Structure 1
């Protein structure tokens, strides 16, 4: 389960990265960039359209991309001409600074008052912008959580097969599911009989014994075979030896008779093999001189001695 959770988390992260951003997300990204890099305020970008914000963002990106660092050759070439201009400007500024000192002292008082008002206004704007950002972030988080819940709900109904972890599934895919059995035959080849199962597409499966057949067919196939035998013979025992054994095994399996002597005779023999066929869900129990087949869901009149012998022998199963 931990591996599957990690796998689903990785898939969700990939899908998020592949998913292109929406228009509102693009506006939020460009607005945050313009606030941090371009120095724009929230009120300046609040009522602007997507195209207007896109133009501002493109202009800001051009300014950043065309920026020349101080160590570049363009800046160095300009330094020589700029030095001469700076000397002249310094001499002029020295004269102006003396005249401006007196006027600046007078203006300081009025500036301090105006700065105090501006700071209060800026603090209020920052608080309102922070509230708006928190609100936008909450809305995006709620939207992403809803999408993740929908994905998890959808993937709960899917079976994920990984290279390092294989999950056993009982269901047979529709493309490989065999067709229904329409006919069966017992064909003698020399001194031995073979069970031939013919399906709807006239394909034939050949088995040398009942055990081999139960290992390779499904429970649905087994019930279909019993219906074919039942319609052919009913409750009358066949005369042929192979047909009689086949009919007897199926009859004991599907319609066990409590009054039959077979159940009492089992207690006199020891169990040699007790096996479970997973595909057909049938128990096979072999004694010293006979054997029986039992369906997993049915109850059979086994004596306590027979049951203890079976438990002492222990069942053989794939899982």
Structure 2
């Protein structure tokens, strides 16, 4: 109304008629033409996703740089095939920033180093943590002492498909792939369900994980 203030009827009507003609032309499009435009939009979206996937380079090297005294943690440097690099403070930092393929690449690199070098310190710890994720051994002392676990938090890292059990009073954590069955006793499985799984809202992966845990209890 502010734009039309001071204008006469004869001045206003052509503006309305022009806009009306535009609206009618849009509404006159048949459903096939509209569907064609929608398909083109979706194709552009898919092309963008594919392009992003193609641009992603695999991890080619990992290095333990040393301790960051200010935060009391070891710092790892990951370098990709294109030369880009990123820095991570601990395993949970890996989970927050890497995807499933990245985790496989990292485990392969650590395995290769383990075969040619005597690992020690945090390199050895990292190898043990990754081995527990990808090749769990039910004879390992960690799994045999489940009755001592005091669960504090159950967390899902959807980007890499890993879920973590954090404990009270200890830095120990149990990290597992969402689709893989681990040697968890029934008591721990039930305690996991009583915890509130931390995940993104309306997460399909979280629902599937909970269903998977329930199926293990029922076996």
Structure 1 length-normalised TM: 0.47
Residues 237, 244 of structure 1: 8 Å contact kept: no
Runs of at least 4 residues of structure 1 off by over 4 A? none
Following superposition of structure 1 onto structure 2, how do residues 62-211 of structure 1 map, counting pairs within 5 Å?
A: 148=32, 152=35, 155=38, 158-159=41-42, 172=49, 174-175=51-52, 177-189=55-67, 192-211=73-92
Q: 1:158 to 1:262 in 2, by over 3 A?
A: farther
Residues 185, 196 of structure 1: 8 Å contact kept: yes
Structure 2 SS opposite 1:294: strand
Q: 1:268 aligns with which of 148, 164, 180?
A: 148
For 2:49 and 2:157, how far apart are their aligned partners in 1?
17
Q: Give the CA deviation at 1:258.
A: 2.2
For 2:90 and 2:196, how far apart are their aligned partners in 1?
23
Residues 68, 75 of structure 2: 8 Å contact kept: no
Following superposition of structure 1 onto structure 2, how do residues 158-307 of structure 1 map, counting pairs within 5 Å?
A: 158-159=41-42, 172=49, 174-175=51-52, 177-189=55-67, 192-234=73-115, 238-288=118-168, 289=170, 290-307=172-189
Q: Which has the higher helix share?
A: 1
Pairwise CA RMSD of aligned residues? 3.3
For 1:190 and 1:158, how far apart are their aligned partners in 2?
47
For 1:253 and 1:304, how far apart are their aligned partners in 2?
19
For 1:154 and 1:261, how far apart are their aligned partners in 2?
60
- Residue correspondences, number: 171
Please, which runs of 5 or more residues in structure 2 have no aligned partner?
1-22, 202-219
Q: Give the CA deviation at 1:274.
A: 0.7
Deviations 1:142-163 (A, max 9, x none): xx67xx1x753773585499xx
Residues 181, 197 of structure 1: 8 Å contact kept: yes
For 1:160 and 1:272, how far apart are their aligned partners in 2?
45
Structure 2 length-normalised TM: 0.66
For 2:164 and 2:117, how far apart are their aligned partners in 1?
22
For 1:299 and 1:158, how far apart are their aligned partners in 2?
40
For 1:264 and 1:159, how far apart are their aligned partners in 2?
51
Deviations 1:121-170 (A, max 9, x none): xxxxxxxxxxxxxxxxxxxxxxx67xx1x753773585499xxxxx9x9x
Structure 1 SS opposite 2:145: helix
Structure with higher RCO (Cα < 8 A, 6+ apart): 2
Q: 1:185 to 1:315 in 2, by over 3 A?
A: same
